[in-house]
Amino acid sequence: MTTRLIDLDVHFHESLSTLSEYFDEPWRTRLQEGGTYAEFGFGPGGGSGDRGVGGRVKREQDGERGDVVDTSYPNAGMTPEEIPDGMEYLGVDQCLVLSHKLLGAGSYVADDERLGQLAKGSAEYMLDHVLDPSAGIYSALPVPYSDVDASLDLIERLGTEEAFRGIYMVTGGAEPPLGNRKYEPIYELAEEMGLPVVFHTGGSGLDSYHTKGYSKFIETHTLGFLESNMSQLTSLLIQGIPEKFPDLKMVFLESGVFWVGALGQRLDTEYLKRQSEAPLLEQRPSDYIRDRFYFGTQPIENPRNPDHMEAAIEMLGGADSLMYASDYPHWDFDRPQSITDLEFLSDAEKERIMWRNAAEVFDL
Amino acid sequence: MTDRIRVGDVASIGPDDPELVTVDGTRVAVVSYDDEYYAIENTCLHQCGPVSQGRIKGALSGEWSDPGDRVEESFDESHPAIACPLHGWEYDLRTGEHLGDDDLALATYPVVIEDGVAYLEP
């Protein structure tokens, strides 16, 4: 193991009933007095499909215990105590806890108020009940990006809190894509305040999301998370966000590592033919990927040939561009050993991935 | 040292009328654009397309002022570029460098005009 361990992606599954007291009126009363219908109908839900693989993944089911830590996710809202329990289980010293409820951000399309209430409610609830910098429990502030003004208000109001070490934007379903100029005031403010942007993927489900009608969850989960991150990284790059905001730090989470090199090569091939459509870029897209972006490790792939993993990591920028992320307590979480057991990494490279990069970027 | 190479009468050279010569085995296109003459290697570094048959125009540039503003795009006529007609790889006519990656560069040569005749000085 390494001398220290920072986990960039732990989730806290909030219940709406606990968040509603932080909502503005009339949303608070609607939820508190609306009963099951109001809660059920507030948001788009978690997407269809069985993440537990028909009872095989036991860890996240109520009442199941073994040599793993049980959580109430996904059957009920988690309790704040479950975060330090999870950290102890993984051996994590510090972590960023990201709102689970916000993962559906891109699906809140009917109005631009609910997402703002959800982000504000989650942020304030987390500050009051979950986050504890003295115990290494930090977060990134959820951004309700469909309402840019509300996003700016929230960042200005809470972005200086010690517990919030960055801002958090969900890539799944974000339309227009996150390189669109409408979002630039968010990036400007984040850059001014020294807040890195955590782009967290999302987006899978049998009956909804970008491609409808897959019959097995493996299909939509394989591609949904990947496509969401690819869409947004492509948009950010081609619209010149790295050039427009030279001091903005950007981290992409939850699509593994192999996609990055493939996307970089695809973008470069297009760019050499159509660079006039990306006139702000001063170098190849893959150069920006290596120089300006960081990537979370999870869910780390399992190639038979370790040389392929080594090449994939090298293509995204090497150990200097990677940060350990568990995604705990979600069903496909990674233990730290998934990285520290990679034999081609030197001890110094493991230290960078397991904590140093995150410590530098998030000032932890 | 290769001697000066006679290309031809300048009147016969235009953006759409390149003259081709061979320099030490390399095919070179001599073109004119906006009253200037340029000589650039004729074989695209991508898939060997005939660069001289491509469009010449000022490179497209983008100016961005403030967050939320559009990127203002314009053709920079002080920065002429030629695009290979096969796939659009675009090169700076003055330097031969690909507009998207200056590690990729076609050879360029000085063009001298004397008495209405264009010459290359390799």
Average pLDDT over residues A315-323: 98
Return all residues near A167 (Cβ < 8 A) that are at least 6 apart.
A140, A141, A142, A143, A155, A159, A186, A190, A195, A196, A197, A198
Pick the CATH number of B5-56+82-120 from 2.102.10.10, 3.30.450.40, 3.30.160.100, 2.40.50.140: 2.102.10.10
Least CA distance to A274: which residue of chain B?
A: B88
pLDDT beyond 90 at A54 = no
Q: Indicate the residue type of B16.
A: D
DSSP A56-110: T--TTSTT--SSS----TTTSPPPTTHHHHHHHHHT-SEEEEEESGGGGGGG--S
User: Which of B57, B63, B66 to probe by mutation at the A interface, max A CB count within 10 Å?
Assistant: B66
Strand partners of residue B61? B74
Whose tokens are 């099951």? That residue is A36
Q: Provide the residue ranges of all domains of chain B, joining segments of one domain with +.
A: 5-56+82-120
pLDDT confidence of residue A109: 87
Interface probe, candidates B47, B55, B56, B60, chain A, greatest A C-beta count within 10 A: B60
Best residue of B65, B90, B91 to probe chain A, by most A CBs closer than 10 Å: B90
Contact call for A185 and B68, based on CB within 8 A: yes
Three-class SS of residue A151? Answer: helix
Using a CB-CB distance cutoff of 8 angstroms, which residues of chain B are in contact with residue A283?
Answer: 101
User: Is A269 near chain B, with CB under 8 Å?
Assistant: no
Round the CA-based radius of gyration of chain B to a whole number and report it.
Answer: 16
Of A240, A272, A279, the CB nearest to B61: A279
Give me the pLDDT at residue A364, please.
98
Q: β-strand A322-323 against A293-296: which pairing, if any?
A: parallel
Q: Per-residue pLDDT for A63 more than 60? A: no
Mark out chain B residues that contact chain A at CB-CB < 8 A: 46, 59-62, 64, 67-71, 73, 87-90, 98-101, 104
In chain B, the residue whose alpha carbon lies closest to the alpha carbon of A180 is B68
The region of weakest confidence among A67-81, A290-304, A348-362, B107-121 is A67-81
pLDDT at A65 over 50: no
Structure tokens at B19: 């003259």
Three-state DSSP at B43 gives strand
pLDDT digits (tens, 9 = 90+) for A306-315: 999 999 999 9
d(CA A182, CA A179): 8
pLDDT the model gives residue A64? 46
- Give the H/E segment covering residue B91: strand B90-92
Q: Give the closest of A181, A185, A273 to B89, CB-based.
A: A273
What is the pLDDT, as a whole number, of residue A342? 97
Q: State the alpha helices, DSSP H only, in chain A.
A: 16-19, 27-33, 35-42, 82-90, 114-129, 148-158, 184-193, 217-238, 241-244, 258-274, 285-292, 306-315, 337-340, 347-351, 357-362
Q: Name the token pair of A60.
A: 């996240």
Closest CB from B60, B70, B100 relative to A284: B100
Whole-angstrom distance, CA of residue A178 vs CA of residue A232: 6
Q: Provide the pLDDT confidence category of residue A19 given band limits of 50, 70 and 90.
A: very high
Q: Which residues in chain A have Cβ-Cβ distances shorter than 8 Å to B101?
A: 272, 283-284
* The predicted structure's pLDDT at residue B16: 85
Does residue A41 register a pLDDT over 50?
yes
Give the CA distances from residue B79 to residues A100, A356, B97, in Å, rounded to whole numbers and listed in that order.
50, 44, 12
Q: Which residue has the tokens 């390494």?
A: A2
What are the tens digits of pLDDT across the range A179-211? 999 999 999 999 999 999 999 998 777 777 667
Q: Is the pLDDT of residue A112 over 70?
A: yes
- What's the full length of chain A, in residues? 364
Question: Could B67 and A185 be called an inter-chain contact, meaning their C-beta atoms sit closer than 8 Å?
Answer: yes
| Identity of the amino acid at A305 | N
pLDDT of residue A73: 66
How many Cβ atoms sit within 10 Å of the Cβ of residue B96? 21
**Which chain A residue lies closest to B63 (C-alpha atoms)?**
A280
- Of A18, A188, A208, A12, the residue nearest A109 (C-alpha): A208
Q: In this predicted model, which residue has the larger pLDDT, A249 or A221? A: A249
Q: Of B2, B6, B1, B61, whose CA–CA distance to B39 is shortest?
A: B6
